[in-house]
Amino acid sequence: MKLSGHYLDKNMSEAEKDLQETILDILRKYIGEEFNAEQVTPTANLEALGIDSMDVVEIIFDLEETFDIDVPDPGDMDDVEVKFDTAQDLVNLVDALIKQKN
């Protein structure tokens, strides 16, 4: 199963909202100085927020620590799409990894 993860706000559960908000808060630590917290939305492109590849590595570490998961490298898993382009990519990924763990 490929997780497409098209979350729509109106259909989101409380747990899903919490997950999304936690991840957005993590991302807010890494955005460039010229950006503000409101610009960090689920669909925003991480690179466009001044988040570089080294930041992504740190963000992955934060996600692993926060959610007690192991984030695979792109291509490592067949059933989970591993990409780090937008906040939503990360939410989908973490959600899938949490479900997999449980």
Partner 1 sequence: MRIVITGMGAVSSLGYDVDSFIKGIQTGQSGFSTIQQIPEIELLKVKIAAEVPDYDETAHFEKKQLALYDRFTQFQLLSARQAIKDAGLDFKGELAERSSVIMGTGIGGQTTQEQNYKRLFAEGAKRLPPLTVPKLIPNAAASHVTMEFGIKGPSFSIASACASSAHSLAQSCMMLRSGIIDVAVTGGSEACITYGTVKGWEALRVTSKTTCRPFSKDRSGMILGEGSGTIILETLQHAQARGAKIYAEVLGFGMSSDAGNIVQPSMDGAARAMKAALKDAQLAIDDVQYINAHGTGTPQNDPTETAAIREVFGAHADQLAVSSTKSMHGHALGAAAALETIAIVSALQDQIAPPTMNYNEVDPECDLDYVVNKARPMEINIALNNSFAFGGLNAVTVFKRF
| Residues that bind partner 1 in the complex, under the rule CB under 8 A | 54, 57-58, 60-61, 64-65, 70
- Toward partner 1, which CB reaches closer, 65 or 85? 65
User: How close are the terminal C-alpha atoms of the chain, in Å?
Assistant: 17
Shortest Cβ 36–partner 1 spacing (Å): 17
Q: Could you give the CA distance from residue 57 to residue 55 in angstroms, rounded to a whole number? A: 5
DSSP labels, 26-87:
HHHTTS-TT--GGG--TTSBTGGGT--HHHHHHHHHHHHHHHT--PPPTTS-SSS----SBH
Q: Shortest Cβ distance from residue 54 to partner 1 (Å)? A: 8
Sign of CA dihedral 44, 16, 23, 25: positive
In the complex, least distance from residue 102 CB atom to partner 1, rounded to whole angstroms: 17
Closer residue to partner 1, CB minimum distance, 63 or 87: 63
Residue with Cβ nearer partner 1 (7 or 90): 90
Nearer to partner 1, 48 or 57 (CB): 57
Query: Measured from the CB of residue 22, what is the shortest distance to partner 1 in angstroms?
Result: 18
